[in-house]
Amino acid sequence: MNERLNMMLHEWREVKNDRPFSGAQKITNQLQGHHQRCPDQYRISVPNFLALCSELESMGLQSNGNVTLEEQVAMFMQCLGQAHNFRTIGEDFQHSLETDAIDAIDGTHIKAYVDQKDEFKERFINRKGEATQNVMAAVDFDENFVAVVAGWEGSAHDNIILRSAVEEGFLRVPHGKYYLVDAGYANTPQFLAPYRRVSYHLASFRDRARARGGYQYDNAEELFNHRHAQLRNVVERTFGIVKNRFHILNDMLRFDFKTQVKIVAACCTLHNFIKHHDRLRNVSDDNIVEVPQFNQGSQDGGNGDSEDLQNWEDEIIDSQAEVNLRESIKNTLWQMRQSA
């Protein structure tokens, strides 16, 4: 039985920087040009701008890749002074301000109606003994579905679903970019996972913060995992919005399974459509009344029993390249926190 559906809802968009002058040239022109340009644009005089750059450099700020120190300061000041968003600033300075983490990936279980005469019915029973389809989705940080893989049986593991989507060429990752995934996935150059055997769920960090009077971390791995979980939580949040809006996802009717798969895809597509048009009218999803949701396991991610997940994690082999990337990000976060 194969009623799986892979659906791409958004293509990743690369920022086009094709102006004849660079951001560094823009800064040079404004600092050396009319004295009023700098205050008009950045709300600070040229002498004070240069003094600020010098002060920040003495505190450790450096040019980074293709972005000079002066550009970093100018972009920050323009954001504060003009209330420009990142897309506008990126266009002005001819830099992409997108992060290398393009989206987050996670799975969720949707209740499924399975005909008792179906010879494959046992495959739909998940770890909690309920018939479901395991749906994997990539979600951007604006709560839009980018890709949806629906129709896998409830017993299928998240890592197998992801591997299949990649091998079939459905889920493509731009060069130098990566998705955020949970510990049930392998750490590879395209998929950045948290540290295993280290606190990860947001609820555990919140509980400990209440007990300690604030967020405190025993080591750099905990800090990395908390930041990772905060970003990746967008998937759970988005699935929650969809399930609260479309109640059929919590109590699937007796359609044939092929139709059930299409219903999931339709709900995700409609979510994107509604969110786009609500944004144009400045309407929020906050007014959606919550309904009791199908039990998803732990509060902050993961579709199954934690012991089973840990056993699976022991078999996952991480890519050394991605291990190095994770170590670099972890060390940077820890150094920033220690020096704050």
Residue extents of the structural domains in the chain: 5-12+100-339, 23-93
Q: In this predicted model, what pLDDT tens digit does every residue of 212-241 receive, in sequence order?
A: 988 999 999 999 999 999 999 999 999 999
Report the alpha-carbon distance of residue 300 to residue 23 in Å, rounded. 40
Q: Cβ neighbours of residue 299 under 8 Å, at least 6 residues apart? A: 201, 202, 203
Question: 22-26, 105-109, 299-303, 332-336 — which one is most confidently predicted on average?
Answer: 105-109
Say yes or no to pLDDT of 289 above 50: no
Q: What is the dihedral of CA 312, 313, 314, 319, to 10 degrees?
A: 130
**pLDDT of res. 310:** 46
Kindly tell me the sign of the dihedral angle through the C-alpha atoms of 252, 6, 136, 236.
negative
Classify strands 145-153 and 101-111 as parallel, antiparallel or unpaired: unpaired
**Using CB atoms within 10 A of its CB, is residue 136 exposed (0-12), middle (13-18) or buried (19+)?**
buried
Q: What is the pLDDT of residue 296?
A: 41
Q: Is the sign of the CA dihedral 68, 338, 340, 183 positive or negative?
A: positive
Q: What is the pLDDT of residue 282?
A: 58
Candidate ranges 63-72, 243-252, 280-289, 303-312; pick with highest mean pLDDT: 243-252
pTM of the predicted model over 0.85: no
